[in-house]
Amino acid sequence: MKKKTFTPKEKANIAIAALRGDKAYNELAGSHEVHSKQISKWKMVLEEESPSLFTNKKKEEFEKENLINNLYKIM
């Protein structure tokens, strides 16, 4: 049996469906041909990484660059 490959968007959609809880993991696993443990992992990644979507990346990059510049000045 050939291993099915999922795009990041497909993984996200399956994880969102698991997060909603409309279907049990076994139902999602059967309909998408993926193991329920994999769905659980994708859901966990979604829960952990989704807050980063709402951070100000430019501010973080600026602060990081500023820190690096200050460290170079110290050296």
pLDDT tens for 27-60 read 999 999 999 999 999 999 999 988 888 777 777 7
Q: What residue spans define the domains of the chain?
A: 8-74
The pLDDT-based confidence of 62 (bands split at 50, 70, 90) is confident
DSSP the chain: -PPP---HHHHHHHHHHHHHTSS-HHHHHHHHTS-HHHHHHHHHHHHHHGGGGGS-HHHHHHHHHHHHHHHHHH-
**What mean pLDDT comes out for the span 8-17?**
94
